[in-house]
Chain A
Amino acid sequence: MLSYDIVIVGGGPAGLAAAASAREQGIESVLILERDHTLGGILNQCIHNGFGLHTFKEELTGPEYAARFIDRVNELGIEYKLNTMVMDISSEKCITAMNREEGLFQIRAKAVILAMGCRERPRGALNIPGYRPAGIFSAGTAQRLVNMEGYLPGREVVILGSGDIGLIMARRMTLEGAKVKLVAELMPYSGGLKRNIVQCLDDFGIPLKLSHTVIDIDGKERVKGVTVAQVDEHRKPIPGTEEYISCDTLLLSVGLIPENELSRGMGVDMEPVTSGPVVNESLETNVEGVFACGNVLHVHDLVDYVSEEAAAAGKNAARYIREGAKRAEQAGCVELAAEGGVRYTVPKYIHTDRMEEKLTVRFRVGDVYKGCYICTYFDDTCVKRQKRPVMAPGEMEEIKLQKQKLEEYPDLKKITIRIEKGGE
């Protein structure tokens, strides 16, 4: 059986950064498994620019950003297998994978880094009535068809969901000659970055209707139109607000689901809010030596943060390999609690003895907050209040925790992060 120190599942931005980082930490035996025919993952179809401002201090397109990491992986001589699908990972970290050359095979890993990314939420998850005509695509599928394979999937388009991929595709379809008639968003705010609303919708005069959804799809062989209606505060359609819009294509940009079948199969504990694994300060799951990073852990807005997080996962996996059985027993661990508007935190647990000098805690808020404070409590003591002019569910937030500060509270049990209104 093949055997590696670290096996990384997924060759997208997370997998590439994790691999490079593990190798830079001195681990020679690293393998990336990727199911597509090239490395780079979804970045390859994101031909728009805006990637890498944090990492490289310049604006790159998706393929360019991916190429930087692919080049690095090649420079470091890291092994990878393409067109290879991982079927199963056992709790003993035995990986079953398959490809056309080798058939079904198994690999034994000392550590595994989960970097599988996300899948798009499909129509089936939305309960929209109607037949199953051609012309309904997830926005990411349309993006791949247009940008990588050179097809235009439709000419008159309605987009449901104003997440970033939906917004980007509104512009892309418009530039390719299609007419984007409407972007409908169920929530009273957009799920996408502000810059994308400006550059992808406003620039082209594409209307965005908030608190609206698609309630019916017309057409049997091909989409003929959709019925859009306004929704109330409980997201229920309001009778009398229905509007029929003729179109031949409906794009769905209605959320991403971390692709965690493999994680669940090996007994990794999951966080219901993120649909990703529960991890500690080392981005390690409850299964020892199994780490997670990138969109499989929680959905990110910016690939720069994926790379940063993945590099940390790679470094921690390398440390796990080096220290092996000598690793100190986990001392008491501090739980991170998300309250008062904070929906979740990554990580969820911190072993103070294992944390770096500075630890980034990432989270999302559940609503739009203006002029509020991110408050950090060590047990019942408020240790930090950071003002934010605006916070929105579509934009990931972060705070930094300092090891030194945690050590000042030796009996610390719980760190709470909550959003509080201004005033004092």
Chain B
Amino acid sequence: MTVREDRAEKGKRELVCIGCPLGCMITVTCKDGQILTVSGNTCKKGDQYARNEVTNPERMVTTTVRLADRPHETVSVKSERSIPKEKIFDFVKALKMVEVKAPVHISDVILSDVAGTGVAAVATVNRL
């Protein structure tokens, strides 16, 4: 499965801001790949989100890796920062091969430069 393509197209795009739980409805108008207006957002974050979402959408990724010698326990991990949306599956797939040994602490790097994104996966749980 591939992540759905999102491109800056001619005309109008309606977006739901994911910057915070408010979920503002934002309208972006574009012409020839250039953003003309951003409206509907309540804060700067919304404006930034809408611009990024139209030109270069990014997401945080969270998943789990295996814990050596503990088959029924996992280590939850996250991307250290958001990565390009189309890289989500590659990111998760690269981590499927990983098994770590306890102890693991929150923020420990589990895998650096995951799937060529330049972004590390860090632990989000303590396993002592």
Our count of residue pairs bridging A and B at CB distance below 8 angstroms stands at 87
By the criterion CB–CB under 8 Å, are B4 and A150 in contact? no
Interface string of A54-73 (1 = CB under 8 A from B): 00000111011001000000
Question: Is the C-beta of A333 less than 8 angstroms from some C-beta in chain B?
Answer: no
A55 to chain B, nearest CB (A): 13
A333 to B127, CA, bound (A): 49
Q: How far is the CB of B105 from chain A (nearest CB, A)?
A: 10
A110 interface hit (Cβ, 8 Å): no
- Verify if A3 is at the interface (C-beta below 8 Å from B): no
Task: Assess the A53–B59 pair: CB atoms within 8 A.
Answer: no
Query: How many of A's residues come within 8 Å of B, CB to CB?
Result: 35
| Chain A residues in 8 Å Cβ range of B126 | 67
Q: Of B16, B25, B61, B74, which is within 8 A of A197 by CB?
A: B16
**Residues on the A chain within 8 Å of B4, using CB:** 202-205
Q: In the complex, A59 Cα to B18 Cα: how many Å?
A: 12
Per-residue CB contact flags for chain A residues 40-84 toward chain B (1 = under 8 Å, else 0) read 000010011110010000011101100100000000000000000
B20: chain A residues at CB < 8 Å are 53
> Smallest Cβ distance from A318 to chain B, in angstroms?
29
Taking CB atoms and an 8 Å cut-off, the chain A residues in 173-197 that contact chain B are 174-176, 179, 193-195, 197
Q: Which of A64, A147, A176, A202 has the most CB of B within 10 A?
A: A64
Q: Does B85 contact A (CB under 8 A)?
A: yes
Compute how far the CA of A109 lies from the CA of B28 in the bound complex, rounded to whole angstroms. Answer: 58
Query: Taking the complex as formed, is A198 at the interface, i.e. its CB lies under 8 A from any CB of chain B?
Result: yes
Nearest residue in B to A49 (C-beta to C-beta)? B60
Q: Contact string, B63-99, partner A, CB cutoff 8 A, digits 1/0?
A: 1101000011110101000000100110010000000
With a 10 A CB-CB cut-off, give which of B18, B20, B66, B85 has the most chain A CB atoms: B18
Q: Is the CB of A199 within 8 A of B64?
A: no
Taking a contact as CB atoms under 8 Å apart, the answer to whether B74 and A150 are in contact is: yes
Which of B23, B71, B72 has the most chain A CB atoms inside 10 A of its CB? B23
Q: Which residues of B contact A (CB under 8 A)?
A: 1, 3-4, 15-18, 20-21, 23, 25, 59-64, 66, 71-74, 76, 78, 85, 88-89, 92, 106, 124-126
Between-chain CB contacts (< 8 Å), 21 pairs: A47-B62, A47-B76, A48-B62, A49-B62, A50-B21, A53-B20, A60-B124, A64-B125, A147-B64, A148-B73, A150-B64, A150-B71, A176-B92, A179-B1, A194-B16, A194-B18, A195-B18, A199-B59, A203-B85, A301-B21, A395-B21
The 5 closest A-B pairs by CB, nearest first: A194-B23, A47-B76, A195-B18, A63-B125, A61-B124
What 16 new A-B contacts, CB under 8 Å, besides A147-B74, A148-B74, A199-B59?
A: A47-B62, A47-B63, A47-B64, A53-B21, A63-B76, A67-B125, A149-B72, A150-B73, A150-B74, A174-B1, A176-B92, A179-B1, A194-B18, A195-B16, A199-B18, A203-B85
